[in-house]
Amino acid sequence: MTALTHNQLSSILARVRVALAGTQTAAPDLLADLQQAEWWLDANSSRLAVEVHVAFIDHREGGNLHAALARETLMAEIAGFCREWWPEIRDKRDPATFDDEQLVQIYFERHEDEYLWTERIAVEGVLPEPVAPLRIRRHMVISTSHIRPSTASLLDQWAPMLPDGRPLCVAETGYGWFVLADPIDEALLDMVPLELRSVIDFARLHGCRWLLLDRDADCTDGLETFDW
């Protein structure tokens, strides 16, 4: 699998959550945990902490610094150093008979002048901003028939309101509404009609950040429709 962005991971989690919600065995706490993970990924889209295993070998010539994403890889590198200088500890055993962890432990316990320090650290990176950042998001266009007329009235009420006064981001287009398909705050879920939440989840399921509810758009299979 190629590297994924936070937004792509969030979309995958949303697809899993929606799929599980449609089963009879989905645990509510699992669905809530998945949604919390979506919110975290969306809120931390430019940061990614990576755990790195590091080691420093202090020897008479100076020091060697090693780093790897897995401890096994790190110890394999250090074991290579130990095998090269194994005669210095005057141990007659064949180093090939030990695994990497054992070999490293024996070498530095018996060597009088060389020392090993290992640690696991978290390196947090911030993605660089492009010189002229472009915000490119996918949006889905579906019919307003997938929401009730009463929900349409709510969208009309929310569109001119300040963000703090409404449960989700809405913009009126003249022929419908643009709706942000980000996860809805759990404390505000009851304010959003169920069929609108289903439509938003459907958009996220297909990797879309925005939903355009348009009076002239076609209806979509898999979503409930309502008479206007």
Kindly list the domain boundaries of the chain, sorted by start residue: 6-46+132-214, 50-125
Which of 49-53, 60-64, 192-196 comes out lowest in average pLDDT?
A: 49-53
DSSP string, 211-227: EEEETTSPP-TTS----
Residue 100 reports pLDDT greater than 90: yes
Mean pLDDT over the full length of the chain: 85
* Model confidence at 133: pLDDT above 60: no
Q: How far apart are CA 31 and CA 13, in angstroms?
A: 10
More confident residue, 58 or 174: 58
Identify which has the larger pLDDT, 44 or 198: 198
Q: Are 194 and 153 in contact (CB under 8 A)?
A: no
Burial zone of 170 (CB within 10 Å; 0-12 exposed, 13-18 middle, 19+ buried): buried
* Six token digits for residue 188: 């505000």
pLDDT reported for residue 150: 95
Answer yes or no: is pLDDT of 88 > 70: yes
CB neighbour class for 181 (10 Å; exposed up to 12, middle 13-18, buried from 19)? buried
- Any idea which residue has 């989905």 for tokens? 26
Q: In terms of pLDDT, which residue wins out, 60 or 144?
A: 144
Distant-in-sequence, close-in-space partners of 203: CB < 8 Å, separation ≥ 6: 139, 140, 181, 210, 211
Q: Is 2's pLDDT higher than 60?
A: no
pLDDT band at 1 (very low <50, low <70, confident <90, very high): very low
Question: What amino acid occupies position 60?
Answer: R
pLDDT given at position 174 = 86
